[in-house]
Structures are given as C-alpha cells and as structure tokens.
Structure 1
Amino acid sequence: MVSADPSDFDTVRFQALLLDSVGQAVIATDVGGLVIYWNSAAERLYGWPAQEAIGRSIVELTPAPQSLEEATLIFAELAAGRTWEGEFVVRHRDGRAFPVHVTDTPVLGDDGTLRAIIGISSDITERKRAEQAARHLSAIVESSSDAIIGAALDGAIVSWNGGAERLFGYAASEVIGQHVRILAPSEAIAEEIAANVRRVALGQRIESLETVRRHKDGSPLDVALTLSPVYRPDGSMGGFSAIMRDDSVRQRGERALKQRADLLVSRLAKEAKASERLRELDRIKDDLVATVSHELRTPLTSIMGFVELLKEEQAGPLTAQQRTWADTIGRNGDRLLTLVDNLLAASTLDAGKMQAGSSRVDLRDVITAARRTLQPSIDQRHLTTRFHLPPTSILVQGDASQLEQVVCNLVSNALKFTEDGGTVECALAVEGSQARLTVSDDGIGIPDDEQAELFTRFFRSTTATDRAIQGTGLGLSIASSIVRSHGGAISVVSAPGRGTKVMVDLPMAGPRALRRQRRRTPAHGPAGSSEADRHVRLTAAAPDRPVA
C-alpha cells in the first residue's frame, strides 16, 4: 500500500512506488532512447523485467514499425515541449505483435531543452477487435439489400442504411431524427407503428409482419417487417431495429395466384356435373401444391445453408443477439421445409408416384433413426419421452426412409399434442405375424366424433385449432398412405384429456424372421432387464428453461 503522504518516504522511492501502482505501463527514456525507468506494468505488458530493460534502447525492447520520418516528427513535437499521443503496433518479448495507445510527455530542463521522455502505454487489443467487429457489422448492414433502420425508444430514427435509401427513396440525411411515422401511408398505419413501438419498448419482438409503408413519392409499399429491441452493454434497452423487405412482388404474386386459383375453382365447380370433374379439380389442386412446394424448397434450402454459414461464423464472430436471430431463422426455416416436404409427400402419394423400395428393413433401425431426427424437438419440451425396442431384429419388407417418416410423423404429433409434464412413448413388438409399432401419449386427446376424419388430408381436430397448435393436417394422412402401401394397417384410440394411442401393424418379412422374433425378449420388459434394453431405452426430460 503506497502512503498518501510523501513525507513518510524518500522522494525517489515514493515516486517509484507511486508509478508502480499505476495500471498502465510507464517507461522513461533519455533523449537517446535508452530506458532509465521501467515500471511493473511495463514488465507485464512487454515481457521484459526492469533489471533487463533499464539501460537498453526502447526501440530494441518495444520494436514498432515506425518510419524514420514519423519518428522524427514525434521527436520534434516532444523537443518543442508538446505531448504526443497515438497508436501503433509493438512486439512483446516473445515476438507477439499487439496494438498499444501511447502518450509521450517531454521532460524539459531549466534551459528548455529536452532532457527525458516519459511514455505511458496501454494494450488496446480488445478495443481494436471491438472496433473491427463493429466496422464489419456496419459493412454488413450497409451492404444489405433489406432496409435496416435503427430507432430510439421514442421512435426517432438514428440510423438508415443503403437498403432503406433504395427502398423508400429518402437519403439518410432526410430522415435521421425524424419519427418512424414518416413512413406511414395512412393514419391507421401510423397507429399501427405507434402500437408496435410500444410493444418493442416492452421487450417484445415482432417477426415477419406483412404491412404497408410509404415511399418518398407517396406510393404505398408492401413490406415484410421485423422489429427487435436493441440493448446496451449494461443490459438496458437503448432502442429498436426495424428490418423491412420489399414484399410487393410476392404479395402481388400471391394475390394473382389466388385470383387465378379462385377463378379456376369457380369455373371447374360450375362445369363439374359428375365425380370425374371433382377428381379433376382435386388433381389440379395437387399439381398446384406440388409446383409451389418445389419452387419454395430451392430458396428455402439456400436460406438454411447461409444460416448455417452464419452460425459457423464464416462471415465473422456473432454477438449473442445475432446468434439468437440466426437460430430463429433456422427454426422457422426448418418449419417451412417440413411443411414443403409434407405437401410434396402428400401430392406424390395422391398422384400414385411415390416409389417404395423393397428390401428387408429392421424396424429397430428405423425407430432409432427417427429418434435422432426428432431429438432437437424432444429437447425443447418438458416431457418424458421413452422408446422401447426389443433386443433382436424385427424385419419387414419395405422402404426404410418411408417407414422412418411414419415414425417421425406419429411421434411428432404426440409431442405436439402433449402438454409439458406429460409422457410420450414409442414401442415396438410382435403381434402374431405382424410387427406392431405403438406411439402413445397422455396429451389432450381427440373428440370421438372427429376420429373418423383423422386420416383425411388437411383435417385438423378442434382440440388443435382451439389451442392454436400449429400443423398442416397432413402427418397422419401421409403415414396412413405409406402404411397401406406396405400392406399394413393403422388405427387410433383416443379420448379427450386422456391422450392418444396410434397403432401400426406391418407384415413381417418371411417365416424365418417370424420365428426369430417369437424367441425375442418382450419389448416392454423392465428397464435394465438386459444389456441391449439398457442401450435402447431413452428417457428425455428437457431442462428447466423456456421453450424457444
């Protein structure tokens, strides 16, 4: 501890202790550049002990790539009695280069001549990294084709990228400081903007809102809008960001497509005088779904690929907020891909074009593969999920990928319609000459009067729609078609509030396989009854965290 009273110490010793207590490197040199003082912070920063540094040239101890001209200018400033400060890259004793901020102060004699130089330096590596990351992020924002707007909590615009200039026609200088209401084409939209600002101020995020904004020339623009709170380093909210994409082409296309589809349906309905006409209408609809699904899948796959590149930080390090955004894009992209795949599968099945492979398939492998696919969904839920598999093979003749889709659809439904704290089970067993797959849950169940419609395409039970549970109504329809194409049968037993059990029966492959299955250990034996059983049983309970 350095005393605050210099009278307690020899003056020189006090000054040395005082300088050693400074957190920054303090180095003194004579006018020839030889070190005459080197404090402990300098030892830590440059790696040279004081006893080795004193008496040596500062250029040798902290080499920096300065030009002779620059060094001459610095010396001239100091000789004139003026302090100099700046930044340059130096080297540690171990050869490692790093940036420092240096303040050089001249020590003048009574005659005004330069007698010594005191330099104070600090490592600015972290600051430089932060500046580089900020410049990189700024370049990304500025080069984005989307309009990216920053605003304060009161709605005043504070940043306006090139995408915003191109989309709305305003230069940044025209809108900085203006309220975001400048983009409202009507009073109703102005009220919507004010309501959105209030929601974001409460920490809410608004995603993919289809709305209308105004161009500088007064024309309306259809946009897709995402609003997100922006937080300061101390965790307080500093404002919000708005990302807007010109959605005019897509929305016009959707309207045109809907108009054409409505016109087609109207004409066909008027002309339909027999069941053949109705089947033709259904075929046209399937073709439309398949075409649109194919067209959607290509850009979606590209989007998901670029999301993975972002998450792998191929474009540079991500902040926690940016990683959250990338994860959100990835999750919603996966949902869209699943929807497109289901639409394609339904269309292919209805057209009779799905080709099923014909090989011996071990249903244990099928369920294991499905479980791996579903594991991210399982981990997001607060459920107990169990998979019961027998220790020996259960062989059927069929297509492994299609059968895996059946398992995925059934277990995914069970996860979706079971509330947190519930249980979902998937079991495999032999019933006579049939392999039986059972997926059961203790979820919300299905009303009796709706169960006959469960395998109808796009059917959704009232328990799902009332609770706003997302889905397309295609999962069971696709599963049923695949099971039937394999010579099997599917059935459902359910009761509201008590859960649902779905059973799939498939013919086993050949008599020898059947005899082998009848000698197996029961699939529902107690946990730990055999080494194999311990390996195939899974209980997954998500940790106590909110579902993303």
Structure 2
Amino acid sequence: MSVPGPSRPQPLLGWYGAASLLALIFAAGLGAVVLAPQTGPVAAWYPAAGVSVALLALSPRSRWLALAVSVTVVTAAASILGGRDPEVTLVYATGNACEALFAAWVLRHGADEVPRLRGTEDMVRILVAGLAGAASITVFATVGAATLTSTDPWAIARTFFTSHLAATLIVVPAALSLAATRERPRRIAETTVQALALVTATAVVFWPGHGLSLEFAPLPFLVWAALRLDLRVVTLELVAVSAAVTLFSLHGGGPFGYDFERGAVGADSAASLVQLYLLTSAFLTVPLAITVEQRRSLIGELLDSEQMTEATLDTTAALILVTDLAGTVVRVNQAVTALTGYAEDELLGRHIEDMPFAPPGSSGYPAGLPEEPDGQVGRETGAVTRGGDRIKILWNTSYVRDERGRPTYVVITGTDLTAERAAAGLNQHLLQAAITTALIGIDPQGRITLFNAGAERLLGYDQQDMVGVPFVQVIESAQLVERTGSADPVDAFAALVGTIGAEGTTSQRDWTWTGEDGRRLTVSMTLGIAGDALSSRVGYLCVGRDVTEARASQELLVAALEKERVAVERLRKVDSAKNEFVSTVSHELRTPVASIVGYTEMLQDGTVGEPTSMQGRLLASIERSGKRLIALCDDLLTLGGLDSGSAEIDRDVVDLSELVDAAADAMRPLLAGRDLDVDFGATGPVEVLGDRAQLDRVLINLLSNAVKFTEDGGRIECRTEVRDSEAVLVVSDTGIGIPVEEQSELFERFYRSSTAQDRAIQGTGLGLSIVAATVAAHGGRIDVRSAHLEGTTITVRLPRARVSATPGSPR
C-alpha cells in the first residue's frame, strides 16, 4: 500500500497564477450566465464564485484588495457579455467580490497558511467560509433585486445562497488539493475504471429525456473514489459531476430536469434542488476522502515509527527483551542474539523465567516486576552464552503503558558488565599488589578513601585504620604549616589542592611524611584531580614515592660536585697564575737576552775589537742560543695574548694564495741542503678577513714542522682552495707522522709527540699551540689526519671574506 507522506505548506499564487484564475473566473461566469435557464433570474450553478474564493485564499493578503477589484471587473464583464442588465450586474459583481473577501478571510483567519485538507476541521473551515460568502452575496443580490427588479426576493435569496454555497464547497477543495504538494498513491488502472463507471452512471441518470429517480446512482462511485483514490481525484470528479448534473438538468435531463420540463417545479426551485444535490454529494464524499487520506497519513507515520523503533532496538548495544503482562517474550533485539548466541526464534514465546542463557538454578530471571506502576527493578545476574562463556549483566525492568496509563508490555533491558567487572577486579588487584608506590584516594573534604598496599608498606599504617582520616595527617605538621600557612586540617588541605594547575595535577614536590613508628620519610608527592564523565571532580588522588635514600645520595653527590667545583676553580686560578707567571718571566727574560744578543753582534762585527776565530765561533753560538730564547719568549707572549684575548687582530682582507707564494721564498733557507720535493700550489684568490702577520705565522709554523719532521726523499705539499663558504689551507707531508692516540694532545703547550722525542728532533712544542689559538681567534677550525710513520695532513678552514663590489673596497 502506498502511503502519502507529510505535506508541506500550501504555496501562494504568483501574478501568473492569479491571472490564470481570473481568466477561469471570466470563462466560468460567462458560461454560467449563458447556460442559465431563460425563465430563471439567475444561473443554476455559479462555479466562478468558488474560483474567486480560491483566488484570494491562495494569494498573499497584500494583494486581496487589488484582486477583489479585478474579480468585480471580470465578473461584471462576463455577465454583461452574457446579456445581463448592467445595473444588476454591477451589484452582483460587487457582491461576488465581497463574497470572495469574506470567505478568504475566514479560511485564512488565525493562520498564515492556507488550509491543507489534513482533517475534517479543514472541511468545517471551508463550510463556514462558504456560508459566510454565500450569506454576503445573498444580501447583495436580494437588496439589488428588490431595488432594481420586480423579481421575488425570496427566490433570489434561495437560488443565490445554494448556488454559491455549492460552488464554494465544490471548487475550493479542488483548488486546495491541486495546489497542495504531497506524495499520492498511484492506482492508474483503478482510477480509470472508477472514472468510466462514474461517467457512465452520471450520463445514464442525468441524460436529457430520462426522468427516473436514480440520482443516487453516481454517489457510490464518488464514495469509491473517496475510499480508494486520491483526494485530488475525488475533488476533480466532484467538480466534473457538478458541471454535468447542472448542464443536463438545465436541458431536461435527470429527475430535476424532468420535473422542471413537466412543470412540477419552477426554474428557481429546480436550480435549488440541483445545488442541494451537489451539496449533498460534496458533504458525503469530500470529508470521507479527507478522513481516508488522514488515515493513510497516520498509517504512514505509524509505519515510520515502527521502522524507527525496529532500527533503534536493533542498533542499541543494550539487551532488550519485551514481554506481555504474563511474562511471555514477544520481542528481542539483535544485541541479545549477538551477546548470548541464541537466535530470536529460540527466545520468542518462552517465559522470561525460562531463558536458555539463565544460569542453572536461577529464579525470577532476569528481574522481577516493579511493585509501583511507575517504578523499575534493577538486578545484576550472571548469564551463560551458547558457547559456555559466563558474563555479567545488569537488568532493569519497567512497564510500557498506553495513553490511559494502563500497563501493556514489560520491557527488560540488560547492560553487559563483564568488561567493567573485570576491569574493577584488575584495578583492585593492582591496588593490592606488592608495589612500592603509595596511592591514596581522597574525597573532596580531604578524608582518605583509598589506601593501597604501597602506602601501607611505606607508612606502616593499616588500610582500615586510615580510611576516613584527614589526608594532611600523614604530612609532618611543621612542614605543613610552613608551606600552607595553617595548622587546621580543612584549611591546610584547601591550600594544598589550591596549587593544582590547569593540567589537573600539582607539580611533583618533596614532602616529609611521618610513619606509624615516627619515622620521617622524604616522599616525592603528586596530587591530582580524580573525575569522571559525569562529574568534573569526585575527589583527588595522591601518588607518593619514597625518595629518602635517593635524596641522601643526591645530597652527597651535590657535596662532591661542589668540592670538585672548588678544586677546578683552584686549578683554574693556578693555571691562570702559571700563565701570568710565564708571560711575566718571558717578558722579563726577553729584555736581557736581547741585550746579550745585541752585545754579541757588536763583538762579532769588531766594534770593540776584532775577535779571534775561536771567539767568533763562541760568539756565533751565543747569538744562536740568544735568538732561540728570544723566539721562545715571543711564542710564550703570543700564546698569553691569544689566551687572554688581549692580542689585537687586524681584520683586513688577506689572500691565502699570496701568503703561500711569500712562504715559498721564506722556506728556502730551511730547504737548503735538504732532499725534499716541495709543491706550493693555489687555485686562485682565496680571501679571508684576518691579521696577515698572524696568518703568515700560522703558515710558516705548519711548513716548518713539515720540513722538520719529513726525512730526505719525502714530499711536502701546500695548497689553498675554496669549499662552499670556507677558505681552506692544506699542508701535507710524508714525514714521521703522529700516533693516533696522541693526536688529542697535539695542540697543547709544550707537547711533543713520542716519535719526535725518540728521534731527538729539536723543538719547543709551542708552534701548533700558536697555530690552534690563532685559527680559533679567526673563527676557524683545524683538522688533522695522521698516523705513525704515515705522514701528516693538517687542514685549516677559515670563513671566506665577503668583499664589497664597490670601487676602492679592500682586497
């Protein structure tokens, strides 16, 4: 069965629809006037009145005045063209407009929407509107006829009232049903058969020349349409039957026309009888059709509600069993089958106390009925699934009542508590497990509600003795007052929980707890809020860990670190004093040594007398030793200045390639008499920002070491290159190398490798220290790649200079 869906509000007419109805009013009015009996004062049926009411009822109220004027003009034009007297026509046309206004006002009174024909109250509203409109036009017509004609006013009133009331009650429902938007049952074949039967019956009964009293014959077919077909079909067929009955009766057809032809009744009486027949047909079929459609709508809503109920039951995770008042199961949802393993047909028809999943020996299962009509019964029981698994279920039983409050069914809902009970047992086991962490539950008033085994082992108190005791009693009283500012347990606890931050816990902090035997324990304590989904705060949870030994160890470690720091500070001061002493001694030693070297040179050049050959050799030895001492003093002073930061470094653009070229000339005296393959190479300008003299000293020191530690027949290579944002200086040799395990101390002062010492190679051990300090002062770094007897490669990396492209910029 197709069921109509819910209808939406009636749409209001636009100007195009209003113009169409005005044209229909004109056509219907003209036809009614032309087809009116010549002996009668008015038309037998006037459908234009119903169309006028529908026009205003379906239009916005703001257009009613303009539409009423339009109805007056159109109706008057139709009547004048049909041959009516203009003066009488103007009165009738004005009355038609007032009729439409009155009837539309009644239809739309107290509501923004147009009646939707959803119930008999809508038909009553149409009837009242029709009566109001028919009464208004009857008053206009009666006054006009009495004033302008000699026609019997009673005949005018009777004819106008019945014809216009019939028009409103027949045409307006048809217009409202056509304007409504709702899904409708489609029975094309049945509609075709019914329509043919109705046409045949109407033609047979009301065809001209037939006078048998069979006017009831079309009514069963109209009732057929009202019971089985759509409301729109019923109202349209009623309009068609009304037009046919009126037309045929005017030409002597049917019982009403036959009585008029043979003079049994007058024209006005015959017209009134026709309209009463039409009113009877409308009152018989339209309310019936509305009631049937309302029933279809209710059935649809019930079906939707039933489907929703079925979907709700089957998609609910809870177990649901529905029984009658005797306890026989009449409905179960899919959750019952999914959880217990028993199919629906195995449970339906069985008594609730005879469920197959009930544990053996259970009675009153799952739960008894409530003693109070509105009460519930809750009970937790076990259950055994088809597979033999045991589960825990919380059952609740209550009555389902009808609209009078009488119980009709019993609904039993079950919630699976198996996982919850298992989790609760696990939590209880964890709380009682042999752990060293103290877990203490606290209620909002600050009293202990949970005291786990870890807390018992830590403090020595028994769990039963501590439940209900204020939590702050486990904290040392002096420390509690010091940190919270109160000795009162309530105020102290309020101050303690007031430190809980937005993340829901206090920061971890050490507190002193007092055990049962008076022991003072250092405990790392965290206090947090305990809550659930229904309440933001149900209490607090304190987590405590004994850190007494750890804190003692930490204090010892801190004390040891402090002693080490003091020792390091003393060593730093000693090293600083040593450096200062060395710098002072070097400075003080350099002056007399320089004087000695100077006087030696005076003796050598014969200023005070020509020295003998033996004296010359001695003076040369003194000069060499003095210059070595001066060089040593210079190295020590340079290192002291670099370490202290007092050495001034010029920041000029220096081309390392130029330094390499200059070093090649400076190294010739050292290479004299040596069999070494020396290669000085550069790839082009390699510019850095730095002190030319210090960088030149770096290069000379590296080359001097390469020459010193490379045996004859070896190779020395010096090159410069650019790698990304770095300037690179590489000095490599094939000399005696440096053991890998000694390379970490290579740049320490006075350090000389074991290989150099074994070979008695002279040196102070300051050259590489100066190189490292100078490179670090220039923001660079040094890489060393070497091994014992495998040569050495030292790579110096310095930041490249960013030279401005403007004229006159330094290079």
TM-score range, shorter chain: 0.3 to 0.5
Length-normalised TM-score, structure 1: 0.41
Asked which structure has the greater RCO (Cα within 8 Å, sep 6+), the reply is 1
For the pair shown, the structure with the greater C-alpha radius of gyration is 2
- Greater per-residue strand proportion: 1
Length-normalised TM-score, structure 2: 0.28
- Greater per-residue helix proportion: 2
